[in-house]
Amino acid sequence: MRSFVQNATQKLEWLLELGGTKRDIAFLCVSGVALVLSLLQIRPFPFDMAWVAILLCGVPIVLEAVIGLITSFDIKADVLVSIALIASVCIREDFAAGEVAFIMQLGALLEDLTVARARAGIEKLVHLTPQTARLLRDGTETVVPAQAVQVGDWLRVLPGETVPVDGVILSGQTAINQAVMTGESLPVDKSAGDTVSSGTVNQFGAFEMEATRVGEDSSIQRMIQLVQSADAGKAKIVGLADRWATWIVVIALTAAALTWAITGEIIRAVTILVVFCPCALVLATPTAIMAAIGNATKHGFLVRVGDALERLAGVKKVAFDKTGTLTCGVPQVVAAQGIANRCDAETVYALAAAAEQLSEHPLGKAVVRCYREKTGRMPAPATDFRMIPGRGVEAVVGGKKVLAGNAALLAENGIAAATAPEAEGYRQQGCTVILLAVNGEAAGYLALVDTLRPESAAMLRALRGAGVEPVLLTGDHENAARTIAAQLGIHEVHADCLPEDKLRCIDACQDSGDPVCMVGDGINDAPALKKAMVGIAMGGVGSDIAVDAADIVLVDDEVRELPHLIALSHRMMTTIKINLVFSMGLNFLAIFLAIAGVLNPVVGALVHNAGSVLVIIHSALLLQWRKKQPADVMRAKKVPADD
């Protein structure tokens, strides 16, 4: 018997899987036309056209109900709908049966369209995993699979290659792009004794290293594991109609049975079952979500997971990554200073730009770009250019030997970095400082910093006005994080964060009863985006992996719209609650009228159909909704703020 039930259930599930969304849309279109013909009593065939809707829309509902009851005795809204369908057909109220089936399938389609399958982006993270390593053994170099590397092995990493495992540099100087782990916008200079992480990219110099963490213990593998497990505890919202389905079924059947027993009229009992069908209740949530998603799309948000806006309405804190989210992610020269009697600021800037114009380092490119933007001309030509990994550059400009780089570069050339004390103030503010030496003497320095987005401050003020507290989670060092936080008025700051650190911060907040929305753009943000109650990725500057891990994507990176999205989520929940109260009230009113004999099945079906239409119209108002915002938030927007 058990085998028979299992086989039957598998066949029913196979039938339901045939087709998909396109099939459902086609069935609804054909069923809608058939119901109109049935209502007008037009019969091109020798049967009531409502049977088309019963077969196309009603049969899948009945099959779902049967599977739920057989496999797990799971009573959902479709059980009551199935009972009403069968009862209506038994007393030959075909139109009522077809109309109920049509409305319920419409609600199911809307739910399918709004609840998208979340994609974790694990495949892309796996592609970042280094496949090979250069193993040094007995004086020879051998290319081996990265999985074969053991703790204590010596490896060589060439420029442009990905670091295969975690380790410590034994010899060599380089600059490492650590964006995959920390989100830092600039490469970090590394030399002997410094640690490197798997998955990071060696940009300029070759080095030798000793493996300290390999396989599943390496940084990139730990990040993959974090992303895979981060959303395990994220609650999925269950439709209200299904949550209350057991009570709805019990009340409906009891009311119908008592009415039939007292009045002796089965048509009244069937009418109760028809009007008790939770059509409006089923439509209350998905229609509001669909409309809110449409509104969000117009303001630059791509909602990838249907219940994301429901969860967003409950957040108490918004955690921001710094680089590329609150800042532009592009360094700018904010100061150029020369040493008295040697070079003035303008000369320092010009010599630095000339020396850096052949550099591939992001800092060098930033100096050249900013110089061209400020002066409107190209830097002077340079000769004898040499890039020194982990230190800086050397070139001859106008017959002068120019060094541009860090203090170690000047020290190795026997030059005292006389400008270092003056530049320390900029370092304390989170700036990166490039020291300049000309003909063997310190000449000045440039200070560069990642600049704030113009709209960040106003956006954060609007968030605080809405009762949401901003938090800064960044892989950048403490000074840079504190400086940015002070400018933006953010009080809670977590700096030097690796992916697991961000995960722990979000866990701590949510465990204390403060659901968190995470806003980030980098690969290192992917686990946090997954773990947070809601993850929002920057689509323009963000990585594909961050986008895949997020529930919502800010396509155009206009963070000024974030307060609108949160206000929209609250408005959507208000709309859903109004829809639910209205639909339940209408259902109970229709039940009393059905018990009194005022409604028959057809009229009852039309009444609760009218309720469904009103719910849809009310939800549609969300499409154009926008809360008035402060003028500084709306500045530079073409669309006026309206109620």
Closest CA to 458 of 323, 330, 567, 563: 563
For the chain, the C-alpha Rg in angstroms (whole number) is 33
Tokens of 272: 């109760």
What is the three-class DSSP state of 433? strand
Ramachandran assignment for 496, one of left (phi > 0), alpha (psi -120 to 50 degrees), beta (any other): left
Question: What is the rounded CA–CA span in Å between residue 602 and residue 350?
Answer: 85
Choice among 321, 450, 476, 557 that is catalytic: 321
Give every CB contact of residue 27 below 8 A, 6+ residues apart in sequence.
Answer: 56, 57, 105
For 353, the enclosing helix (H) or strand (E) is helix 345-356
Q: How far from the centroid of its chain's Cα atoms is residue 184's Cα?
A: 20
Query: Under a CB-based contact definition with an 8 Å cutoff, are residues 185 and 365 in contact?
Result: no
Q: What would the DSSP string read from start to end of 523-568?
A: GGGHHHHHHSSEEEEETTTS-HHHHHH-SEEETT--GGGHHHHHHH
Closest CA to 583 of 257, 248, 306: 248
Residue 306 phi, psi dihedral angles, 5° rounding = -55, -40
Strands 317-320 and 469-473: parallel
Q: Produce one character per residue of 571-600: b if its CB has 16 or more CB atoms within 10 Å, e if not.
A: bbbebbeebbebbbebbeebbebbbeeebb
Question: What is the rounded CA–CA span in Å between residue 308 and residue 295?
Answer: 14
C-alpha distances out from residue 106 to 28, 58, 147, Å: 7, 11, 51
Determine the Cα angle at 472 with ends 467 and 478, to 5°: 145
234: amino acid identity, one letter: K
The conformation of residue 393, written as its DSSP 8-state character, comes to E
Query: Under a CB-based contact definition with an 8 Å cutoff, are residues 457 and 484 in contact?
Result: no
Q: How many residues appear in the chain? A: 643
Tokens of 395: 């070139």
Query: Under a CB-based contact definition with an 8 Å cutoff, are residues 448 and 434 in contact?
Result: yes
Q: How far from the centroid of its chain's Cα atoms is residue 156's Cα?
A: 37
Question: What is the rounded CA–CA span in Å between residue 183 and residue 329?
Answer: 10
Tokens 């999205």, residue? Answer: 565
Question: What is the rounded CA–CA span in Å between residue 478 and residue 255?
Answer: 67
Query: Under a CB-based contact definition with an 8 Å cutoff, are residues 583 and 159 in contact?
Result: no
C-beta neighbour count of 502 within 10 angstroms: 28
Is 321 annotated in the active site?
yes
Angle between helices 345-356 and 362-375 (to 10 degrees): 130
Instruction: Provide the CB-side half-sphere exposure for 550 (13 A, CA).
Output: 28
Q: Which residues are catalytic?
A: 321
